[in-house]
Structure 1
Amino acid sequence: MHLDELEEGALYGDGNQWSRGPVIGKSGYAVVFVATLNKYKRRRTIANRLRPVMAVKSSGTTSGDGGEPAYNLLLEYPSGGTLEDLIARSGGIGLPENDVWRYTKSLLLGLVHLHDHGYVHRNLKPNNVVLLRYSSTEFIAKIGNYESVVKIEKLKKTLWRPYSRTGVDYLSPEAFSGGNQGHAADVWAVGCIVYEMLTGKSVWEGREEVEIRAELRNMKKGRGRINFNPNGVSENGKEFLKGCFETEAKSRWTAERLLRLPFLASTSS
């Protein structure tokens, strides 16, 4: 580990049954480390329900040196990294479409579950989608980083600022303009993620932030659209992107409707 990672690990300390390893990720309020069980035995204790290798997301201050509590959330270890890592390794070409739709289906299943329980994620992007081993050769995508998740009822009562922690690259027109960032905004972000998986490039490739802001503003006024017709993408892919990139939130397809597309309905994972 680098010196700064060692210092962060010392700050948070270890658990009673596990030891902290290298840093594998950071968010606005927490640091994520590898964690390994000190003793992995088949016995009827809490340790028996934990895996030998996990991820631990920590915030707060150390419980060792400072005597103040640290908050540790034990998670599945994302051995495949994140979608951002995977897309970067494609070298700007994109992923095979079969892989894209497999990851997309598992992503949408998670989003439907979240939406059905009345929540909005508000920070979907490739770096917040982790890849967990599904079989000896395949990974499954899962939504991560729930720090920005909020109940939809709260959104309806609150006037949100035009920008969110998701950044303008994944921000929908209605969220950009100060409207409520509801379920439809999550679907827009899914479209941006799928576009990146298919092409290896951002929807806004080559555009400066000031240009992106201007374009989102125009979309909110009913002018302009995202190019959801990239070269080399199948008709099924184009249909999916069209549903995600409807500029009006009320016309945008829901995650559940996207799952019913013929190609996604035929995938096994």
Structure 2
Amino acid sequence: MGWRLGRLLGQGAFGRVYLAQSTELLGRRRAADVPYVAVKIALGPNSSTLHHEKTVYEEIGESRFILKFEGSDRIENQYCIVVEYAPRGTLNNLHRQRISEGRASCYAEMILKGLSRVHEHGWVHCDLKPDNILAFPSRNQAIDVRLKLSDFGRAKRRGVHSSALRGTLLYSSPESVQYGQHERPSDIWSLGCILYWLLTGSGLWDRYVHGNTQLLKTMIEGFDENMLVLPPYLSHKAKSFLKKCLRYDPARRWGVDALLQHPFVPSNW
């Protein structure tokens, strides 16, 4: 199947993502009736990363909380994967200041349900961050967007050793920075960083690092949860949830199932 590429949606270390429509469908329908997809094209020799991502999507399978994988293809001899288009953009685009606890708790539930799917199929995301959480319109009156996890290019199988840092430093756990250890608790740490940002309007490390990578690594490696300062305006439930995610020892961090039962996470909405 061929693709008519539209505007550039984003670019990362491994490829570019374009808005696209099927040329086959465009030949049979009006352009307005042909759905948009997102096509991620490998840059240079990076097709192995997209092949890996394809494998992860296929093994995880379909879920309401995982970006839908539409297939793979080649465009001008470059390998690409095709996924559904997220019209509301990324979580990072969606919010530039802190949000209400009610909204944040709904987001937490959707992200946790996506992580549950990833983890139960034997994978670790390894690069959970606002740019890799995509937003869609919601039909639920309680919340106006649905969130889905995306970008599995850095994902790894549970239990497979990886000595290198795989994710984005600002959302990386102490054990991943210090030892290259990436397992399910590392994803939970990343979730804690995301929720901290949503609930406070600033990143966990914003006031310390100022672009200094080495200082950031030192801060993460030496993180002391007893010195975690949470704003007084946060509720006890919100503070408790963050503390369960941001524990230094990965063995003491709560897992997905336990966090889904936490009082901060809504039971029905």
3-state SS of paired residue (1:206) = helix
Q: Give me the whole-angstrom Cα distance separating, in 1, the residues matched to 2:18 and 2:252.
A: 41
Deviation for aligned residue 1:59: 1.4
Cα contact 2:241–2:264 (8 A) shared by 1: no
Q: Secondary structure at the match of 1:239?
A: helix
- Map of 1:76 onto structure 2: 84
The answer as to 2:222 corresponding to 1:218 is yes
SS of equivalent to 1:213? helix
Aligned to 1:129: 133
3-state SS in 1 of match to 2:207: coil
Sort the Cα spacing of 1:265 and 1:20 in 2 relative to 1 into closer, same or farther, 3 A: same
Which of residues 142, 155, 160 in structure 2 aligns to 1:149? 155
Could you say which residue in structure 2 is the equivalent of 1:260? 261
Q: What is the RMSD of the two structures over their aligned residues, measured on CA atoms?
A: 2.4
Once the 2 structures are TM-superposed, how far is the Cα of residue 164 of structure 1 from its aligned partner? Answer: 3.1
Give 1:38 deviation, angstroms.
Answer: 4.1
TM value normalised by structure 2: 0.77
TM-score scaled to structure 1, two decimals?
0.77
User: Which deviates further from its counterpart, 228-237 or 25-34?
Assistant: 228-237
Question: Residue 166 of structure 1 aligns with which residue?
Answer: 168
Residue 23 in 1 paired to residue 23 in 2? no
Q: Is residue 228–residue 241 contact of structure 1 (8 Å, CA) maintained in 2?
A: no
Gaps of 5+ in 2: 45-73
CA distance in 1, matches of 2:232, 2:206: 14
Stretch of structure 1 that moved more, 188-197 or 132-141:
132-141
Aligned partner of residue 247 in structure 1, secondary structure? coil
- Assess, with a 3 A threshold, how the Cα gap between structure 1 residues 196 and 224 changes in structure 2: closer, same or farther: closer
Q: Which residue of the partner structure matches residue 36 of structure 1?
A: 21
What is the CA–CA distance in structure 1 between the aligned matches of 2:178 and 2:24, rounded to whole Å?
A: 52
Cα distance, 1:174 vs structure 2: 1.0
**Deviation (angstroms), 1:73:** 1.7
Amino acid at match of 1:166: T
Provide, for residues 200-247 of structure 1, a one-character-per-residue CA deviation record: whole Å limited to 9, x for no partner: 10011221234332222323xxx5546252232222111110100111
CA offsets per residue over residues 160-183 of structure 1, 9 Å max, x none?
13x33312x111111111141111
Aligned residues: 230
CA contact under 8 A between 1:133 and 1:139: conserved in structure 2? yes
Distance 1:112 1:37 in 2: 32
Q: Which residue of structure 2 aligns with residue 242 of structure 1?
A: 243
Q: Are 1:102 and 1:267, in contact at CA under 8 Å, matched by a contact in 2? A: no
**Cα distance, 1:40–1:103 mapped onto 2, change above 3 Å:** farther
Q: How does 1:48-127 map to 2 (within 5 A)?
A: 52-59=35-42, 63-64=75-76, 69-88=77-96, 90=97, 94-127=98-131
Which whole-Å CA distance do the structure 2 matches of 1:102 and 1:246 have between them? 22
Contact 2:36 2:85 in 1 (8 A): yes
- Tell me, which stretches of 5 or more residues in structure 1 are unaligned? 1-14, 44-49
Deviation track 1:137-163 (CA, whole Å, cap 9, x = no partner) reads: 7211111110001101312xx4x13x3
Q: Does the residue aligned with 2:232 lie in a helix, a strand or coil? A: coil
